[in-house]
Chains A and B, each alone.
Chain A
């Protein structure tokens, strides 16, 4: 990856993170930690990888994305807004009565949202259905699903994994945002999903483990999409709360909003990061 391109992606990811903080602060609720951890992956998908068109969000040929970890809605909304699907100012209406930006993604209301999600474990199945539809009806689009590492404790995830591999859905890419924290503690303490890579391999996926906050590694992993004869799982090791110092690796920031002082500090840190990238 060229240095300028790397910087541009980092700038985009930083703006996405600012949108996350803006949204969650204004909503006085929401899930910043698991949104911030996934910002780099989302930036890469929507600004480099996926075939999407903000002018025609329902384009039938578009690639599909399902936020299976639907509580990370702020990162999806901020990504879509920064990509031009709707006004960035709208992020301030997150979770408010009358806003299209529901607490969890709503495909009926939000331009660019391909599937409603929020109840864990169901998004990967829906993505599998989309991939099956593409194969069956002869469409070329690719399907991506982002899962949480806590989410894969849901049995349905493995029902979907079994089926996707059985049907050799190589147009399906599953990304596990492995930030290592869930509401009640570390995933290893609560109900360990490890080893994650080996589990997906055993279910019949091609797998890779990367640093999910490193664009070089993200690009390397995503360059392989569609080259296998089976579905693909990218296990992305990430830092929960990435980019805001006091939120990093803190379980408490899974589902709570910053107060005014914390908001100001978070935005100042991100502004500094952005300035450093110019």
Chain B
């Protein structure tokens, strides 16, 4: 996919907010001194009077968002995943999650593909944290199309939504006909030997892995899983039944997010081997994003190796 168009999903986030700003008046956007990086700055430029910068105070921002939502208005708040989900976890849990308020948390700079800033800013725990909050919807879009569709879906959803965006430009995988539904996975390629369930920027890697496996005579099913919670149980059970082995791929700690969610469903419904590809319970480090994805074994070749391992366990 060398000549494929690439866009960072944080840009998609900023762009779709502008589109929505043109379509509806009933929301405001909050940021915590990172508007230029999270790309809510794009919205701020278009609608300066509808964007509120809370300064470097994420906990306050999250509870302010809750207060706005409690008055019946829509609100988007944004920071890096580390601070939105990490630093302000308890505010998300108690101010937003417990009262089940309509707040959209747009968390950017997730995963190790943050790059040079290093471990303190590379949040590989956010999906796990958010997934444990009752009633929280957790979405991890794979590309520009899906990211924009996810934000639109969140605006129509009743309840809090956490959406994770990346800093690194990633291939645009889906065209305008793509339909995103919260809680639904999508089969991108059919296969019979193993199913690769991927989320976020790992979906592109999974599609590359599909071709590499095909060249070796292995038939892999590829499932894109944008919604981490509620997880699409049906598509997982179907994959387990029909292919007998599963690989999960995510730019997140292998503990607590997609891999765990899939393993939970598989062990409960249809036990088959599950091999998880992800950040292997270690902190990140500085370096160019693309080099880090190699360093932390988050490439198509790593998915291929995991697929063979899963098949060997059948």
Contacts and interface: CB of A to CB of B under 8 A. Distances in A.
Given A125-B59, A163-B55, A116 B98 contact: yes
A6 interface: no
Interface in A104-127: 106-108, 114-116, 118-119, 121-123, 125-127
B264 to A, nearest CB: 27
Interface residues of A, number: 35
Given A114-B70, A127-B67, A156-B63, A122 B57 contact: no
Nearest to A131: B67
Contacts of B68: 129-130, 132-133
Given A125-B66, A136-B50, 7 more contacts: A106-B99, A126-B95, A128-B64, A129-B64, A129-B68, A129-B71, A130-B67
A115 B99 contact: yes
B116 to A, nearest CB: 29
11 contacts: A64-B70, A64-B71, A106-B99, A119-B91, A125-B91, A126-B70, A129-B63, A129-B66, A130-B68, A162-B57, A166-B55
B70 A125 contact: no
Contact of B60 (A136, A137, A156): A156
Contacts of B95: 116, 119, 122, 125-126
A176 B31 CA distance: 28
Contacts of A127: 67
A133 B73 contact: yes
Nearest to B58: A159
Nearest to B26: A137
Interface of B: 28, 50, 52, 54-55, 57, 59-60, 62-73, 75, 90-91, 94-95, 98-100
Contact of B63 (A108, A134, A160): A160
Task: State the majority secondary structure of interface residues on B.
Answer: helix
A156 B98 CA distance: 19
A115 B95 CA distance: 8
B52 A122 contact: no
A259 B63 CA distance: 37
A127 B66 CA distance: 9
Given A108-B100, A125-B64, A156-B63, A130 B57 contact: no
Contacts of A139: 71
Nearest to B56: A159
Contact of B70 (A130, A137, A156, A163): A130
Given A107-B99, A108-B100, A118-B94, A126 B57 contact: no
Contacts of A136: 28, 50, 73
B65 A129 contact: yes
B52 A126 contact: no
Interface in A129-180: 129-134, 136-137, 139, 155-156, 159-160, 162-163, 166-167
A270 to B, nearest CB: 33
Contacts of B59: 121-122, 125, 155-156, 159
A60 to B, nearest CB: 7
Given A114-B70, A128-B67, A133-B73, A159 B60 contact: yes
A136 B50 CA distance: 8
Contact of A129 (B50, B57, B70, B94): B70
Contacts of A107: 70, 99
Contacts of B75: 129
B93 to A, nearest CB: 8
A134 to B, nearest CB: 7
Contact of B94 (A60, A122, A128): A122
Query: Which of B57, B65, B90 has the most chain A CB atoms inside 10 A of its CB?
Result: B57
Contacts of B71: 60, 64, 129-130, 133-134, 137, 139
Contacts of A156: 57, 59-60, 63, 91
A119 B73 contact: no
Contacts of B65: 129
A171 B240 CA distance: 57
Contact of A116 (B64, B90, B94): B94
B292 to A, nearest CB: 33
A119 B90 contact: yes
A117 to B, nearest CB: 8
Nearest to A126: B67
Nearest to B32: A159
Nearest to A127: B67
